[in-house]
Chains A and B, each alone.
Chain A
């Protein structure tokens, strides 16, 4: 169990939060850059001393500003994967991995290090310097190095963001396996909600130094507490003003034109959100039959294939993203500039406060 409380000034930002991570659990801290995510890891690692705070890992106290106690970073037994990996450029892979093995007898370090590298398919590169390795290979060496100390907690700073798209999927699966096998608390920082959803048991959404919502990725996507959280989860977010209709529905007048009806309650300035896969597209002028209440004329801005789906960016005029199958895109002849009608079910539209 890793428990953290911190309240500190970071330049313009005030970092103020409390987090608990159970053994074997992975908590993702998701949020935009500049939200203070990495600073949380630095507080846990002892690289940043908060004005006020407490860090406990299992039975050990690592930091307690009230009593003035702070354990030196090198005495906090943790594995830290840095965003840029921070491999030592003057040491080959196995020496990088062996660097943290001060408890292992010198004679056994190389064998242990190569064993760790083997686990990540990097034993063949044991004698390579970091400069000769690809991004994905460096990430694997850095992960082997972080795990080689048998850490009591794992801190991962944007573990996948420095990788290209192809390496990323593979590295993500491997990291998922590591986290499943791990019995220690893990905090992972990411700006990518999908990465958090893929790897973490729980997600804490952070904005301007504070945690604004915590829950499973599915719970956050289904019930975002604010338009900020909705936006981060990749949901479509449309700003407007809500008013109650007699039928128990809420009508949202969208900024820039158009209106949507929702079964969710709300009033005043709100954001109407939906998932990209809940939006269907129809050719303009097609009949207003069907049960959907919400039909917005839209113009296609871009068409981007993503795996077996296609993301279609639209202007209604606020930006909206819809996800369709490739065959649907083909039959609708979608390309930038095409006029379509975006159709939303009223039950799919959630209304959240700003």
Chain B
């Protein structure tokens, strides 16, 4: 067989192996727990609380990330200034920091004994062992996913569209709101979905920074970990619910935005 024929076969084979490897663990979660066990474990106190807390904290975190990240990404995409490359790198830094290190960093910065601890205490803002602390940890680890994608999407917009808006009497703010954001929407939604997915799975930073208090800081991944050592079936059942919930939301976004919405990098042409 010639190398010419081998190459397409190698492509198909590698995709096959990748798909199998990536879906098997998720599939196993459903195969290992019967629907009856699944429902029963949800009745257990704390399971629904953890799930609800996950949805609440990731929702608030995503709202903050989008509200702050969208203008920041626009600035990074449309201006060249001194320190631009540094700013981009700093925004991306949490991506390569291990989650536990992120939690320790947050403790050192805004924990009770941290840099800003006294100031926060004076303002009456407690983060450690508080739901707000979970949100802070989620924002820290998830925002780079959104900002990076939003910046790439804004940078890929046709500059003539933005110029046309300005020559039609629109200020930069109006151009941003009326032309840039609507045309970047598929990319922004894709970035939001990535950030949300990262936040939903967040474990290490939350555990280190906010702890694992049932009903207060124990999100679904933390609840799964707690059950894992005592009751594997319960852990499995909660995992199944988490996978199903995130899968449903991802699919919903994809259907709502049409094909290509979650295609990853770049915007529509």
Contact = CB atoms under 8 A, between A and B. Distances in A.
Interface of A: 42, 45-47, 72-80, 82-84, 86-90, 99-100, 102, 145, 149
A259 B183 CA distance: 61
Contacts of B169: 74-75, 77, 100, 102, 149
B171 A149 contact: no
Q: Is chain B's binding surface mostly helix, strand, loop or mixed?
A: helix
A214 to B, nearest CB: 25
A40 to B, nearest CB: 15
B163 A47 contact: yes
B158 interface: yes
B125 to A, nearest CB: 40
Given A47-B166, A74-B166, A86 B161 contact: yes
Given A74-B171, A99-B170, A90 B164 contact: no
Interface string B178-196: 1100110000000000000
Instruction: List the 6 shortest-distance A-B pairs measured between CB atoms, nearest first.
Output: A100-B168, A86-B164, A73-B166, A86-B160, A80-B167, A90-B182
B233 interface: no
Contacts of A80: 163-164, 167
Interface of B: 158, 160-161, 163-171, 174, 178-179, 182-183
Contact of A78 (B158, B167, B171, B174): B167
B158 A86 contact: yes
15 contacts: A42-B163, A45-B163, A47-B163, A74-B174, A79-B167, A82-B160, A82-B163, A83-B160, A84-B158, A88-B164, A88-B165, A88-B183, A99-B170, A102-B170, A149-B169
A187 B168 CA distance: 17
Q: Which of B164, B165, B167 has the most CB of A within 10 A?
A: B167
Contacts of B163: 42, 45, 47, 73, 80, 82, 86
Contacts of A82: 160, 163-164
Contacts of B160: 82-84, 86
A158 to B, nearest CB: 12
A149 B183 contact: no
Contacts of B178: 99
Contacts of A102: 169-170
Nearest to A76: B167
Contacts of B179: 88
A45 B165 contact: no
Q: Which of B166, B174, B179, B182 has the most CB of A within 10 A?
A: B166
